[in-house]
Structure 1
Amino acid sequence: MSDPTTPTRRLPAPGRPVPVSTYRLQLGPDLSLDDAADLVPYLDSLGVTHLYLSPILRAAPGSTHGYDVVDHDEIAPELGGEAALRRLAEVAHAAGLGLVLDIVPNHMAVPTPAWHNRALWSVLTEGPESPYASWFDVDWSAGDGAVLMPVLGARIGEVLASGELTLDTDPERGPVLRYYDHVFPVRPGTEALPLAELVERQHYRLAYWRVADEELNYRRFFDVGTLAAIRVEDPEVFDATHALVLRLIDEGVLDGLRIDHPDGLADPGGYLARLREATGGAWVVVEKILQNDEQLPTDWDTAGSTGYDTAWRIQQAFVDPGGSGRLGALMHRLTGDTSDALPELVDQAKREIVDRALYAEVHRLTELAAEVCRDDLRLRDHTWRSLQDCLVELLVAMDRYRAYVVPGETPQPEDIEVLSTAAALARTRLSPERAATMDVLVDLLLGREVGSAGRTRDPRRDELIVRFQQTCGAVMAKGVEDTAFYRWTQLVSLCEVGGEPDRFALSPTELLTWAGRMQVTSPLGMTTMSTHDTKRSADVRARIGVLSELPVEWAELVGELRAASASWRPALLDGRTENLLWQTLAGTWTADGPLSAERLTEYLTKAIREAKQHTTWTAPDEAYEAAVLGAARQAVTDPAIDELFGRWEQRTREAVRAATLGTALLHLTLPGVADVYQGTEVPSIALVDPDNRRPVDHAAIAARLARLDEGAGARDLADEKLLLTSATLRVRRELREAIIGPEAGFVPLAHSSGHAITYARTVAGDPRIAVVATRLAASVERMGGWAEHTVALPEGDWQDVLTGRAVAGGVRRLAELLDRMPVALLVRED
């Protein structure tokens, strides 16, 4: 294993382009590739060096995001096709900008109609004999040797009796079965059979949609049955699904890649090694959620992660740890949850996911383990039930997305520790008689010799190792991110993708220590604050974070809000949802007022269904949802609520300003390649998708930037954030050797206040850029200002590019340095 202090695996090949910063564009119906080309002059002026494109391969009909790919050989016609991509590349390159592309190696869409995915259509037509059969992770031994297609609105008997399923002829595809918008191929030679027999003879099994959670026989993306996983670990599948993208990289159209959800792959490390070789060592980052202090495996060929690990740390450095107790007490009054209840809540949510949405995956794991044991005399007494019990408890006990055990290879010590620690916890939740079965299971999952002498490898053992790890990620994503994080309400801004709400707050020392380590191990990984997947934009999280600075005042406000809403607040509105509602309003209520009722109710609908306590996507409780959404609509139209939140917005305006600008400046100056999500160069009030994927008025932002560049002063927070973002991006571009250069460095600067975060970016140890940010401005205000607190700037003559002020090096008073803005970005003039 390589030494983690020598980042040889974290650097692209010599000579390969590396972004200094990226700007994420969500392509789709409202933004084509030609539209993106029109934005190049603005993005160049903003200071970014690369456009970061959402997936562009042909996707399922009506796709708004591109992650549901149906054809790897074609750029989506809706976006303009390959010709438009090349036009964009030509315009961007002429301006000195490059292109980075988001690709989806883990899965393809199961579209409606299915023929849009020709690989899948071939498998449905020809079954195991299809040339594409090896693409999909299908268990042909299950489901009567047919791919389960759970698309029916009722059980198959009812559908046949009702006549909703019919035999038809498609002019291009011949005989087909039609079920409303669904179209399926007919196996050659079965066209003349009676309908019931014809249906039974296909290479797929049409079934009631609820069957998917119990009998699905193909691997899917988490619990999404319309996304089927593909086997890119097969070299032929890798080559076929990456040919177009690799050609575009080879031709210089693309400069780098973002890899969606590598944890879903059979062997992420092997995939990244193959990708590095195929791209000639291009800059590649991976969407990897790192739990707590977990680090990327040291042998992964990647520049780093996409930055969720940066996002939560920056955000929590602006959370006041002193607010934990007060906010916990308020949560307890409203919900009954205690401040130490999160681990139990997470376990409960994961257990529900294992037992329901992912039951089919867990059943398949159990079948694999049971088959291994049945075929070995020495393991035969480990029963199906005991193996299932152990698997369930092990999946619940795993504290991260997965281990990275590769069949036939000696597992790394960290992977052994991860599984062993989870097994130790799982044993405490099982009867003592299950201990021996757990020992066998852990040995099997680590690829050790267990059972009869010499038995370490066979296809089922290998599959068990791989599928267990893939299932771990699904349990974490669905159980934690998409269930528990919608239930925990102490401070909802902490419940973010990749977040660590159990940490509550992070000290500046912890943040800067981590950043220093990243400068050594992953200096070219991505940093981010808002993405297309975040549950709230960074600016919404910053506003909610201010509650931790004023917990007493917030608790008093909630009391007033409850009194003002008592006459119309419905009895069905539970405490967790009510707490979520008030905090969401605090995070989205600006000087212009509240979020629109439509956007708020769309968000709450998703939130309460993801929480799965009173209503779900598959079984909506209409009365409960009507009560919640009615309360939300009333809240944004009630004059009393408007007055209360209006006063709160004014009371917290300066604290919000400091948190908004401070988190933005740290994001853009900490080690890594900074990514700006579209529209977040100005304050972005956005909630979970699709709210955060709404079209951006780039023309208005460009006009605002032009006004600032002409010398106009900043009039509001939007001007200030745009000024900060553009100035910092331009500094990054001009002084790239201090950001991504081989001798770039990072060093904290001494200061006397716990309410300041200070550091410098260096070249060969020589400071070139200095950063000063206010942390917890409400506390600074309570103390009467900065008093005599100071920061020790490196020697030399400096200029604050945000204010134009000249600053001499040495010990400087924070009150003088931060009298105009709560942040300072200093560049050494020599």
Structure 2
Amino acid sequence: MLVPGARVPLSTYRLQFNSRFTFRDARAIVDYLHALGVTDAYASSYLKAVPGSPHGYDIVDPTRLNPDIGSEEDYWAWVESLRACGMGHVLDVVPNHMGIAKSANPWWLDVLENGPSSRFARFFDIEWHPVKDELADKVLIPILGDQYGEALERRELQLAYRDGAFVVAYYDEVLPIAPDTYGRILSDTLDRWVTDHPGDAADELEIILAAAANLPERTTRDSDHIALRAREKEVVKRRLAALTGSSAEVRALIDSCVERFNGVAGQPRSFDPLDRLLNEQSYRLAHWRVASEEINYRRFFDVNQLAALRVEDSAVFDEVHRFAFELVRRGGPTGLRIDHVDGLYAPADYLRRLQKNLSTTGDTEDTEEHTGTRTDLSSVSPVSSVVESSPLLERFDGTSFYIVVEKILGAGEHLPADWPVAGTTGYEFGAVVNNLFVDGRNEAALEAIYRRFVRERREPLSFGELGYRSKKQVLHETMSGDINSLGHQLNRFSERYRHFRDFTLYSLISTLKEVIACFPVYRTYVVPGQPVTDHDYRYIVEAVSCAKRHSPAVTSLVFDFIQRMLLQQTPVDAPEQWEERARFTGKFQQITSPVAAKGIEDTALYVYNRLLSVNEVGSDPTQLGLQPTKVHDWLAERRRRWPLALSATATHDSKRGEDVRARLNVLSEIPGAWKAAVTKWRAQNRRFKTEVKGAQAPGGNEEYFLYQTLVGAWPFDADRDGALTIFLERITAYMMKALREAKVHTSWLSPDVTYEKAVERFVEAILDRRRSSQFLQSFLAFQAHVAELGMYNGLAQLLIKITAPGVPDFYQGTEFWDLNLVDPDNRRPVDYEKRRQVLAGLKGCATAVADCASDLLASRTDGRVKLFVTTRSLEARAQWRHVYEQGDYVPLPASGARCDHVFAFARRHGGDVAITCVPRLVASVIPDGAPPIGSVWGDTRIDVAPALAALKGPPGVRLRDVFTSAILEPDEARTIPVSKLFERFPVALLVLVPSNPSSPSGPSRPSRPSRPSRPSRP
């Protein structure tokens, strides 16, 4: 929850930091973002990550900045530049996991060196007593490209001595050797060498090795022994480094021993010493495929290089967040975005602890400089007759910080109301608004086209069933080890009770898989010792009921047992049993979300290809279209519940860019033309297919996916020299990722290179002008029509995002047309210099805005028109800030022949009103492709009476359009013809013109300006 005086972004702009976009680069565009109208940067994590990380989610040291991005001086220079413009920034915090690749994480290396006795052992979510006995007190390290024995005897594992410590190197991975095993490396030759080399060096070497051998055991959990080991092992290393630096004889001894341990190629027995040494370590090296079944540390999803953290432990929480809190205290981040909150053991507790810490980190002297973007929320308007006042804006205690969480909400699911946050990062907003531009009336036609194209004659697989099967596939292929561990926990509990002990381990594991695969949401939030909420109860019961239906041969008793465990209804006779049940519940809740993410987002969304525009993170592919009334209801509810959550239409996680989706939505309006087109294209391109293992590559489903992708992502400048070559490279890479994610003909685990090459050749062939001239002629004509209509969808979606309840969020570069595909495609460099030049030109046409708008519309393919709508709308949002942050949401009805093709609402606060009106489903409005402006709207009118009902003063009302400066006056019935609203431009944003001609244009109750250095607009 937010408080009076807490900094609330008026808008955010996502920046993806990496070695190609640094703090200096970010500082260079602060003035551009400020001029655009953005109030807050939204930064990807900039803490130290794996070297070369393109995204920053693989943090290896949360106590320092990422040197790939810049120095501390660079960082504070960027922050000061933001401050100078009255801007802040939201930092992406990653509490669920850390990167452990390339031996770059000192905490993880300490665990590998010292096992359970490492002071960082409690930091990572490691099962030290897993199912496999051989892994007791060890960590499985699945980094090998082949079987362990093969890698060892090919000399891929190399013992080395570096700076007083022994390590084993595997390409770019360098793992520590426990100091208490150093003696084994020298033992075979040490006695003879000491005899042959008497003196101080030999004595010192023996003392060092004795100290190493006498270190506290690596299995100790005693805090004093842990501290002693941590201290003394470093003494051993320092002394050994000093000795080898001063004694060439000792160094020669060590080098000869290392060489002997590394074995001789072709002599298997020569590798026995190194094998024995590695077996004594607190880790077990293994082939990467072993991870799926035997991994004993929790990961981010199924990524072996990302090890999960235990931030539920207060000591871990403090250390992981210490540096971030320090940055906040010093005036750095002014808001936080919490990554993958569903991965945490107890999200609500974590968020409360976060707020508690942040409430004590504020520095008044630093933060006073940000008053330009402070929000005075003490003057919230009384309960509206249209929309209830927001509880979020009323629950203030003076201590909270702006926090949003990355949370994917299922159908009908709501963010827990007691979480002390401003809301989510906005996936659900994007899904709802996108569906406004999908024509659900053609669902049956789209389904028939899809089935016919992929030649699916049997009863089609529902998305729900596909999601279930995909989650089962993930559980089997990449996360069976996690489920086996959970099953053993459950088995230990069941053995304690006579009513449950007959459930076999196999039945418990298989039943758990069924329940998880059937889970209707990403996770529940059951808190042991507290009543289970109604919605969590419903989700658990629904999942168990579904699992029973899928497993009719399994006794329902085992399902009932799991349900009782999750609902905290099983008997407990002792505190340790209560803790065991609580731990099972917590671990179960942590595993359902990655299974859902991998099964739905990264599998099913690449298989169910009926209409790709709704195949998006946080979206439901079975939901084709939403009626305006439903969207109004949803936005009104958002205003009431989470008015300060982010509103995102494109993110770094998006499957495709926002304007790709805007284009593909058009297909829902023209199913007949779409059917004719793809049928023709399939016939024209059949000759480019290749038979692979008795099937045609690509298959029908993949070909359908490809055609939609081409229609959605085809660049406006494809005729420019080299543009098509670049696009071909992007599409080819994208198709390879899509094929592997789908896991039908190939996958990341088992790539079928032959199949992939066949698809690659197909893509190259159909985009070759010499070989596919007929296809390209047909395709380009169809695509141009769709792209034309898609631009109006894009502008409409953009204006809704900026003016609807919530904080509009912009992904980097999307102020031009966003034709990106999934990462890494959407992390390509952004041409900010071009955007800066365009913005400067737009600012220069302020005195002739109507002509400017018309000119931009005429040249709409170059993207300037989207930037124009962005900056003009953000300026209005800043000028009428109180209307957008605190104002009511008022749906505005339409009448007339085209009433279903417009969407309008007002934001109202006190004596000020701002009205948004956009077109939707315009294919039938403008069949010739001309802009949807002027007379095409016929008798359609917008009723603005609900927006103006509470206004006081003279009966006459004048409204000014932000984009054209046109003055509009409602008639006596307080309606406005859409033909007038869209007379010169296809979207409209109306604000009140003051009734007193002598008064300046602007809000009747001015709020503090977001950017004090910017003069008020005339």
TM-score by length of 2: 0.78
1:798 CA displacement: 1.0
Asked if 1:159 corresponds to 2:151, the answer is yes
Q: Which string of whole-angstrom CA distances, capped at 9 and with x for unpartnered residues, describes residues 67-111 of structure 1?
A: 000001101111113222211111111111111111100000112
SS at match of 2:976: strand
SS at match of 1:761: strand
The amino acid that maps onto 1:730 is E
- Kept after mapping to 2: 8 A contact 1:447/1:456: no
CA distance in 2 between counterparts of 1:34 and 1:441 reads 54
Q: Which string of whole-angstrom CA distances, capped at 9 and with x for unpartnered residues, describes residues 136-175 of structure 1?
A: 010111223200000111111222222221211122x610
Q: Which residue of 1 aligns with 2:434?
A: 315
Matches within 5 A, 1:77-88: 77-88=67-78
1:760 CA displacement: 0.4
CA distance in 1 between counterparts of 2:80 and 2:577 reads 51
Q: Which residue of 2 aligns with 1:575?
A: 700
- Kept after mapping to 1: 8 A contact 2:520/2:542: no
Greater alpha carbon shift after TM alignment, 215-224 vs 151-160? 151-160
Asked if 1:716 corresponds to 2:834, the answer is no
- Kept after mapping to 1: 8 A contact 2:27/2:81: yes
SS at match of 1:183: strand
CA distance in 1 between counterparts of 2:558 and 2:13 reads 51
The amino acid that maps onto 2:904 is T
- Kept after mapping to 1: 8 A contact 2:901/2:921: yes
1:767 CA displacement: 4.8
Match for residue 757 of structure 2 among 614, 617, 626: 626
Match for residue 834 of structure 2 among 681, 700, 711: 700
**What is the aligned-residue identity percentage?**
37
CA distance in 2 between counterparts of 1:341 and 1:294 reads 21
Q: Which string of whole-angstrom CA distances, capped at 9 and with x for unpartnered residues, describes residues 229-285 of structure 1?
A: 000011111110101111121222211001100000000111011111111111000
SS at match of 2:681: helix
- Kept after mapping to 2: 8 A contact 1:386/1:434: no
Q: Which residue of 2 aligns with 1:293?
A: 412
Matches within 5 A, 1:49-198: 49-112=39-102, 114=103, 116-142=104-130, 143-171=135-163, 174-191=165-182, 192-193=184-185, 194-198=273-277
- Kept after mapping to 1: 8 A contact 2:125/2:308: yes
Matches within 5 A, 1:532-571: 532-570=652-690, 571=696
For the structure 1 residues 660 and 433, does the alpha-carbon distance in structure 2 shift closer, same or farther, using more than 3 Å as the test? closer
Q: Which string of whole-angstrom CA distances, capped at 9 and with x for unpartnered residues, describes residues 615-666 of structure 1?
A: 0112211111011111111222232232112211332344212111111111
CA distance in 2 between counterparts of 1:635 and 1:549 reads 26
CA distance in 2 between counterparts of 1:481 and 1:146 reads 33
CA distance in 1 between counterparts of 2:759 and 2:987 reads 40
Q: Which string of whole-angstrom CA distances, capped at 9 and with x for unpartnered residues, describes residues 273-323 of structure 1?
A: 111111111100000000112100111111000000000111111001123
CA distance in 1 between counterparts of 2:275 and 2:783 reads 64
CA distance in 1 between counterparts of 2:715 and 2:175 reads 51
SS at match of 2:682: helix
Q: Which residue of 2 aligns with 1:797?
A: 958
Which structure is larger by alpha-carbon Rg, 1 or 2?
2
CA distance in 1 between counterparts of 2:868 and 2:507 reads 61
- Kept after mapping to 2: 8 A contact 1:61/1:111: no
Asked if 1:262 corresponds to 2:262, the answer is no
CA distance in 2 between counterparts of 1:290 and 1:311 reads 12
SS at match of 1:293: coil
Greater alpha carbon shift after TM alignment, 513-522 vs 657-666? 657-666
The amino acid that maps onto 2:580 is R
CA distance in 2 between counterparts of 1:432 and 1:600 reads 46
CA distance in 1 between counterparts of 2:826 and 2:402 reads 27
The amino acid that maps onto 2:310 is R
Q: Which string of whole-angstrom CA distances, capped at 9 and with x for unpartnered residues, describes residues 671-710 of structure 1?
A: 0011011110110110000001111001101111111221
SS at match of 2:538: helix
1:457 CA displacement: 4.3
- Kept after mapping to 1: 8 A contact 2:711/2:786: no
The amino acid that maps onto 2:540 is L
Q: Which residue of 2 aligns with 1:617?
A: 748
Any runs of at least 4 consecutive aligned residues in structure 1 with deviations exceeding 6 A, and if so which?
A: none
The amino acid that maps onto 1:803 is T
CA distance in 2 between counterparts of 1:432 and 1:530 reads 45
Q: Which string of whole-angstrom CA distances, capped at 9 and with x for unpartnered residues, describes residues 458-478 of structure 1?
A: 443222111111110011000
TM-score by length of 1: 0.96
- Kept after mapping to 1: 8 A contact 2:453/2:679: no
Asked if 1:375 corresponds to 2:496, the answer is yes
Match for residue 760 of structure 1 among 881, 885, 906: 906
CA distance in 2 between counterparts of 1:739 and 1:37 reads 28
1:456 CA displacement: 8.6
- Kept after mapping to 2: 8 A contact 1:654/1:777: no
For the structure 1 residues 459 and 203, does the alpha-carbon distance in structure 2 shift closer, same or farther, using more than 3 Å as the test? farther
Q: Which residue of 2 aligns with 1:5?
A: none
1:781 CA displacement: 2.5
The amino acid that maps onto 1:532 is H
Q: Which residue of 2 aligns with 1:4?
A: none
CA distance in 2 between counterparts of 1:161 and 1:101 reads 47
CA distance in 2 between counterparts of 1:284 and 1:398 reads 28
1:820 CA displacement: 2.0
CA distance in 1 between counterparts of 2:354 and 2:924 reads 49
The amino acid that maps onto 2:811 is Y
Match for residue 750 of structure 1 among 876, 889, 893: 893
Q: Which residue of 2 aligns with 1:445?
A: 566
- Kept after mapping to 1: 8 A contact 2:796/2:920: yes
- Kept after mapping to 2: 8 A contact 1:110/1:227: yes
Match for residue 584 of structure 1 among 695, 709, 717: 709
Matches within 5 A, 1:17-36: 17-36=7-26
For the structure 1 residues 317 and 157, does the alpha-carbon distance in structure 2 shift closer, same or farther, using more than 3 Å as the test? same
Match for residue 826 of structure 1 among 987, 990, 996: 990
CA distance in 2 between counterparts of 1:250 and 1:640 reads 63
1:453 CA displacement: 5.3
CA RMSD, 1 decimal:
1.6
CA distance in 1 between counterparts of 2:468 and 2:554 reads 22
1:182 CA displacement: 1.5
Asked if 1:659 corresponds to 2:793, the answer is yes
Q: Which runs of 5+ in 2 are unaligned?
A: 186-272, 360-399, 691-695, 719-723, 846-851, 929-934, 949-956, 995-1018
The amino acid that maps onto 1:282 is F
CA distance in 2 between counterparts of 1:590 and 1:176 reads 51
CA distance in 2 between counterparts of 1:462 and 1:775 reads 50
Q: Which residue of 1 aligns with 2:209?
A: none
Greater alpha carbon shift after TM alignment, 58-67 vs 150-159? 150-159
Q: Which residue of 1 aligns with 2:921?
A: 776
1:454 CA displacement: 6.5
1:480 CA displacement: 0.4
SS at match of 2:325: helix
- Kept after mapping to 2: 8 A contact 1:449/1:456: no
1:379 CA displacement: 2.1
Q: Which string of whole-angstrom CA distances, capped at 9 and with x for unpartnered residues, describes residues 426-478 of structure 1?
A: 1112236521111111111222233x657894443222111111110011000
Match for residue 600 of structure 2 among 472, 476, 480: 480
Q: Which residue of 1 aligns with 2:296?
A: 217
Asked if 1:460 corresponds to 2:580, the answer is yes
1:425 CA displacement: 1.3
Match for residue 732 of structure 1 among 869, 872, 877: 877
Q: Which runs of 5+ in 1 are unaligned?
A: 1-10
CA distance in 2 between counterparts of 1:326 and 1:698 reads 42
- Kept after mapping to 2: 8 A contact 1:110/1:228: yes
Q: Which residue of 1 aligns with 2:321?
A: 242
SS at match of 1:825: strand
